[in-house]
């Protein structure tokens, strides 16, 4: 079986390499995650891979609903050995696609364009978000789809926000966690929209998705009950910690309700090998990592500026400016150098 990426390019056009399934739903359902875009430190990537392979991947594999596509946004320049691992996963999973990106901020607009292309022939699109180090209950996608079908059958106003209210917040390195509530978490939150007014769940802050739907006279549905719908990981490699220096790990362990998340509970998320994470050494951030991240953001902005100028020239039929090409290459080299220095 050949490797599947999101688009096969021929004669300058983009098209889906495999048509999405329409067996059970009247909408296209796309689950999406970002996978370490802009990450080039291999120690960091290896630890994140172990989280992904132990948590998010088996969680999606275990879903009782199968009528969905899972899109992973990846850095087009990610280290080869990690790209080869992802290609191997895609070869074995007909529902998994890779979306190659130049920059972290490219994910939202590119994902929206991909969904617009993939949804041709569908009246509605359901998009769901999950982080690459988290897990969802094996019935969550089925429940989200059931909720979406109910909204359409009942003539509910769109767009609709669908959120899963309760789950576990935990520390994979210790196995400790507690039951938590969130009205619109980063895990499992979904948006159902008309395909001709598509924005996707990633087109807005996940905490404000219900507000966004209400502001547009849409609908809000919360999936609750006593089921733990998500498994939210707090680690030494969280994006929040990397970008702000503030993590949730200490507060998770110190929570009065903290306890060991047992194997039976973990199996409900499709997670069967979580104990292996306890023996893994977590990367230690460099003391100046916040400065490195800030310079990285500035470098990304500079790349965007150069890229826009190059695209404008190309659209006008002008030859590539060698100086701009060289600057673009040098900025990307600096971007990688900064990201490799995150870990001490």
Mean local confidence (pLDDT), 122-143: 97
User: Could you give the CA distance from residue 180 to residue 191 in angstroms, rounded to a whole number?
Assistant: 22
The pLDDT value recorded for residue 184 is 79
Q: List beta partners, residue 171.
A: 176
Position 203 confidence tier, pLDDT thresholds 50, 70, 90: confident
Average pLDDT of every residue of the chain: 89
The pLDDT tens digits for 11-49 are: 222 333 334 444 467 899 999 999 999 999 999 999 999
Show the tokens assigned to 37.
């875009």
Least confident of 84-88, 98-102, 183-187, 291-295: 183-187
Assess whether pLDDT exceeds 90 at residue 206.
Answer: no
- DSSP secondary structure string for all residues of 251-299: HHHHSTT-EE--HHHHHTTT---GGGGGGSPPP-B-TTHHHHHHHHHHH
On the 0-12 / 13-18 / 19+ scale of CB atoms within 10 A, 249 is: buried
User: Could you give the CA distance from residue 212 to residue 214 in angstroms, rounded to a whole number?
Assistant: 6
Least confident of 9-23, 59-73, 79-93, 268-282: 9-23
The pLDDT value recorded for residue 25 is 78
The pLDDT tens digits for 271-286 are: 999 999 998 888 888 8
- The CA radius of gyration of the chain, in Å to the nearest whole number, is 20
Assess whether pLDDT exceeds 80 at residue 317.
Answer: yes
pTM recorded for the entire structure: 0.89
- DSSP secondary structure string for all residues of 160-202: EEEEE-EEEEEETTTTEEEEEE-TT-SSS-EEEEEGGG---GG
Mean local confidence (pLDDT), 201-217: 93
The pLDDT value recorded for residue 263 is 95
């Amino acid at each position: 079986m050949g490797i599947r990426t999101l688009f096969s390019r021929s004669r300058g056009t983009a098209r889906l390499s495999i048509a999405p399934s329409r067996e059970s739903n009247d909408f296209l359902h796309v689950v999406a995650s970002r996978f370490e875009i802009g990450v080039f430190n291999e120690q960091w990537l290896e630890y994140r891979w172990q989280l992904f392979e132990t948590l998010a991947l088996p969680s999606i594999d275990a879903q009782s609903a199968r009528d969905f596509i899972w899109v992973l946004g990846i850095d087009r320049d990610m280290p080869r050995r990690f790209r080869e691992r992802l290609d191997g996963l895609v070869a074995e999973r007909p529902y998994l696609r890779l979306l190659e990106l130049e920059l972290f901020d490219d994910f939202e607009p590119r994902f929206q364009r991909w969904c617009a292309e993939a949804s041709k022939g569908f009246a509605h699109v359901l998009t769901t978000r999950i982080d690459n180090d988290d897990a969802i209950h094996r019935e969550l996608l089925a429940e989200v789809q059931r909720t979406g079908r109910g909204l359409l059958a009942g003539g509910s106003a769109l767009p609709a926000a669908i959120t899963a209210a309760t789950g576990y917040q935990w520390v994979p390195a210790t196995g400790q966690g507690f039951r938590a509530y969130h009205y619109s978490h980063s895990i499992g939150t979904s948006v159902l929209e008309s395909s001709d007014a598509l924005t996707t769940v990633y087109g807005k802050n996940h905490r404000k998705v219900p507000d966004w739907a209400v502001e547009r006279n849409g609908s809000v549905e919360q999936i609750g009950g006593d089921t733990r719908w998500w498994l939210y990981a707090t680690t030494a490699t969280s994006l929040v910690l990397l970008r702000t220096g503030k993590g949730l790990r200490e507060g998770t362990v110190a929570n009065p309700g903290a306890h060991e998340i047992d194997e039976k509970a973990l199996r409900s998320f499709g997670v069967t090998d979580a104990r292996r994470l306890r023996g893994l050494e977590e990367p230690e951030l460099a003391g100046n990592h916040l400065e490195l991240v800030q310079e990285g953001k500035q470098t990304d902005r500079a790349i965007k500026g150069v890229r826009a100028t190059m695209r404008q020239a190309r659209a006008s039929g002008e030859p590539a400016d060698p100086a701009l090409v060289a600057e673009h290459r040098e900025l990307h080299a600096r971007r990688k150098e900064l990201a490799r220095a995150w870990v001490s």
